[in-house]
């Protein structure tokens, strides 16, 4: 779908940014009535900011091409983190540039007195984080009386970070006539309850299940020895040579250690973890944005809300905890039509878990080993020949100095010196042992026939409904992750789940009849683990029958006991000693 915007000012801004085709979420939001509340399921990197920026424009401009003088804000955008709020501010700045909008950001880590002075001077749109916005409202620094639209961006993350009370306080302070747009990657019960309370006849738009947002990501599973994970990170960074790369670890200690290792190897690397102060965090982000650093080592929590426009490589130095985290990490790259690489470093003992994560996420990965010394050396030669120092037009001063060098040195010596200078600025490369085994995805082919064993706990229910899901042993189904996933996504407890039977191509399970309807609705909501669940006929429907074992235990003891064998505890006759 092409953009069809009534406002010439916004059309001009989109054209200058080469926005010609609308994404799925942008198309869906723009097709909604301009005066109706919306609740949108959309993944990170799907173009949400431009979508709601365009959606609220008719409400704010009221048919005018440009804004009138700034006073009390007309729109409020709430984001979970400082980085995301500032990113939204930058996006709206260029989108509303020719419309003359005055946009003010209110986020933690900035001087609140300066923010208050900017608010008192007037604003058309305010973007902020929940805590800082509530602080301004309580101190009478933010006037919401003229508010016509409010946007909750990544609402699920705001609830996960504990901002429920702040959100409710802000929403209660807004005029009841305002339009509310709620965006969330997932739709847990808390989000549904928030929407039901603060929205009026909201139009539900579901584009979260669309995988097109990750279509430009090249997934790779890299087999490595556990002791060579850091070496593999080094070689991947050298092999891909991305403008900006992000490396994920699961703990703060691992982040600190890996960042120090990369700096020792010559990489300009910064870290993001929960122990950093806001000033240190700001400094790290600025170094990434202005190019002084090109590698960011981070934990999942510390990286929330971060968007780096030139991020081309994501490395999972440690496997994510679940498929949703895998998609969230990988979604940092491959955005807005740009290509990206997501590489999982997989020790031999973790191959099955990596295959499970990829299968649940619904992505195909190319399995192989880490880049070798020879492969990186060949790329270095090709990159050196394309280096701007050789391809750009030389100045007269450069040519004169070149003639002086040729008069004193042989051409081969000068070329060799140039090669040494080029190599000296490159980080070192590690010699990694080639992984053993085939470079194909691990296959786990269990015996066909009987369903997988399920841990003790779930028992058959007298009043239960049978369901079927399209995940079986061929996709590495395992009760250890199936049961928590069903409870989390379906909004039920473990006591509501009965028998679980895992077959080759599907899994069948019982759910308490009292919660079956709500369970099915929860499983069909987009976001999280992408599995298809359907209700079966009474009694469990057509089931895959287990094959009988070759040898079966007889139902009972023989009718007549054999000679010398008692039906109870066997007795043995003592041998007579020789006389």
Kindly report the CATH number assigned to the domain that includes residue 173: 3.40.50.300
Is residue 237 domain-shared with residue 207, that is, in the same domain? no
Encode pLDDT of 104-125 as tens digits.
Answer: 999 987 899 999 999 999 999 9
Instruction: Report the alpha-carbon distance of residue 270 to residue 259 in Å, rounded.
Output: 7
For residues 181 and 280, state if they share a domain: no
On whether both 207 and 220 belong to a single domain, the answer is no
> Phi and psi at residue 459, in whole multiples of 5°?
-125, 160
Tell whether 565 is covered by a domain. no
Question: Does residue 242 sit within a domain?
Answer: yes
Residue 571 resides in a domain: no
Q: Which two tokens stand for residue 366?
A: 């190319």
Q: For the chain, what is the mean pLDDT?
A: 80
What's the pLDDT at 461? Answer: 61
Helices 130-138 and 164-172 pack at an angle, to 10 degrees, of 40
Q: What is the mean pLDDT of residues 175-186?
A: 90
Write down which residue in 374, 399, 427 finishes a domain. 374
With CA atoms as reference, report the closest residue to 543 among 515, 509, 568: 509
Give the range of the structural domain holding residue 521, as residue numbers without chain letter.
464-540
The alpha helices in 105-226, defined as continuous H runs, are: 112-120, 130-138, 155-160, 164-172, 189-198
State the Cα torsion 71-72-77-81 to the nearest 10°. 90
Domain shared by 66 and 129, yes or no: yes
Question: Of the residues 185, 211, 237, which one is the last residue of a structural domain?
Answer: 211
Stretch 286-305: mean pLDDT: 85
- Backbone region of residue 18 per phi and psi (left: phi > 0; alpha: psi in -120 to 50; beta: other values): left
Q: What is the pLDDT of residue 44?
A: 64
Highest mean pLDDT among 130-144, 157-171, 465-479: 130-144
**Co-location of 35 and 177 in the same domain:** yes
In a domain, 444, yes or no: no
Residue 505 has pLDDT above 90, yes or no: no
Task: Output the CA–CA distances (angstroms, integers) from residue 215 to 46, 315, 333, 341, 483, in the order listed.
Answer: 11, 18, 11, 11, 29
Q: Could you tell me if 173 and 221 lie in one domain?
A: no
Domain's final residue, options 181, 211, 241: 211
**Total domains present in the chain:** 3
Whether residue 146 sits in one domain with residue 28? yes
Ranked by mean pLDDT, the top range of 127-136, 412-421, 526-535 is 127-136
Torsion of CA 106, 107, 108, 114, to 10 degrees: -30
Q: Is residue 310 part of a domain?
A: yes
**Statement to judge: residues 14 and 126 lie in one domain:** yes
Regarding whether 249 and 353 lie in a shared domain, the answer is yes
SS3 4: coil
Is 380 in contact with 426 (CB distance < 8 Å)? yes
Q: Is 452 helix (H, G, I), strand (E, B) or coil?
A: strand
Query: What confidence tens digit (pLDDT) does each residue in 540-557 have?
Result: 444 444 444 444 444 444
> Are 188 and 324 contacting, i.e. CB atoms less than 8 angstroms apart?
no
Q: Are residues 143 and 191 located together in one domain of the fold?
A: yes
Please report whether residue 432 resides in a domain. Answer: no
Q: How confident is the model at residue 444 (pLDDT cuts 50, 70, 90)?
A: very low
| pLDDT at position 434 | 59
- Residue 513 sits in a domain whose CATH number is 3.30.70.330
Query: What global pTM score does this model have?
Result: 0.57
User: What pLDDT shows up at residue 446?
Assistant: 38
Residues in the chain: 579
Do 51 and 120 lie in one domain? The reply is: yes
Residues 264 and 203 in one domain: no
318 found inside a domain: yes
User: Residue 248 falls within a domain, yes or no?
Assistant: yes
Phi, psi at 270, each rounded to 5°: -120, 165
């Amino acid at each position: 779908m092409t953009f069809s915007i009534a406002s010439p000012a916004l059309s001009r801004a989109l054209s200058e940014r080469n926005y010609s085709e609308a994404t799925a979420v942008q198309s869906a939001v723009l097709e909604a009535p301009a005066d109706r509340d919306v609740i949108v399921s959309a993944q990170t990197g799907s173009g949400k900011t431009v979508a709601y920026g365009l959606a609220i424009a008719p409400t704010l401009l009221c048919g005018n091409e440009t804004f009138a003088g700034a006073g009390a804000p007309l729109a409020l955008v709430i984001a979970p983190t400082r980085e995301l709020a500032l990113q939204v501010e930058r996006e709206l700045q260029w989108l509303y540039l020719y419309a003359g909008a005055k946009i003010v950001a209110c986020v933690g880590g900035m001087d609140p007195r300066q923010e208050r002075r900017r608010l008192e001077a007037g604003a058309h749109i305010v973007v902020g984080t929940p805590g800082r916005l509530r602080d301004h409202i309580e101190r009478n620094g933010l006037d919401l009386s003229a508010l016509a639209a409010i946007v909750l961006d990544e609402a699920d993350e705001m609830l996960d970070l504990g901002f429920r009370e702040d959100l409710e306080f802000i929403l209660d302070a807004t005029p009841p006539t305002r339009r509310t747009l709620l965006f969330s990657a997932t739709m847990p019960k808390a989000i549904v309850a928030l929407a039901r309370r603060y929205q009026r006849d909201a139009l539900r738009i579901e584009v979260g299940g669309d995988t097109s947002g990750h279509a430009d990501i090249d997934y790779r599973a890299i087999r490595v020895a556990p002791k060579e994970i850091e070496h593999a990170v080094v070689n991947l960074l050298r092999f891909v040579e991305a403008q900006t790369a992000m490396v994920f670890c699961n703990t703060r200690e691992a982040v600190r250690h890996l960042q120090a290792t990369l700096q020792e190897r010559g990489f300009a690397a910064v870290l993001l973890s929960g122990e950093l102060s806001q000033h240190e965090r700001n400094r790290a982000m600025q170094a990434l944005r202005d190019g002084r650093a090109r590698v960011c080592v981070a934990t999942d929590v510390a990286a929330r809300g971060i968007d780096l426009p030139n991020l081309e490589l994501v490395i999972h130095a440690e496997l994510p905890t679940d498929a949703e985290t895998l998609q969230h990490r990988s979604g940092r790259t491959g955005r807005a039509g740009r290509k990206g690489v997501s590489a999982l470093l997989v020790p031999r003992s973790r191959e099955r878990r990596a295959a499970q994560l990829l299968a649940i996420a619904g992505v195909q990965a190319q399995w192989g080993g880490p880049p070798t010394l020879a492969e990186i050396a060949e790329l270095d030669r090709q990159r050196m020949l394309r280096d701007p120092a050789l391809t750009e037009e030389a100045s007269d001063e450069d040519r004169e100095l070149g003639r002086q060098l040729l008069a004193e040195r042989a051409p081969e010596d000068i070329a060799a010196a140039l090669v040494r200078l080029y190599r000296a600025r490159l980080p070192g490369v590690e010699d990694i042992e080639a992984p053993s085994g085939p470079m194909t995805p691990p296959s786990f082919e269990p015996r066909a026939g009987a369903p997988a064993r399920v841990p003790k706990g779930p028992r058959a229910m007298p009043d239960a409904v049978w369901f079927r899901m399209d995940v079986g042993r061929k996709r590495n189904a395992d009760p250890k992750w199936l049961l928590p996933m069903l409870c989390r996504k379906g909004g039920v407890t473990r006591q509501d789940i009965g028998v679980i039977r895992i077959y080759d191509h599907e899994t069948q399970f019982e759910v308490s009849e009292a919660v079956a309807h709500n369970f099915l609705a929860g499983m069909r909501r987009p976001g999280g683990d992408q599995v298809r669940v359907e209700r079966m006929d009474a009694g469990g429907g057509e089931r895959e029958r287990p094959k009988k074992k070759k040898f079966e235990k007889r139902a009972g003891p023989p009718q007549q006991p054999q000679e010398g064998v008692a039906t109870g505890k066997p007795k043995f006759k003592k041998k007579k000693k020789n006389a």
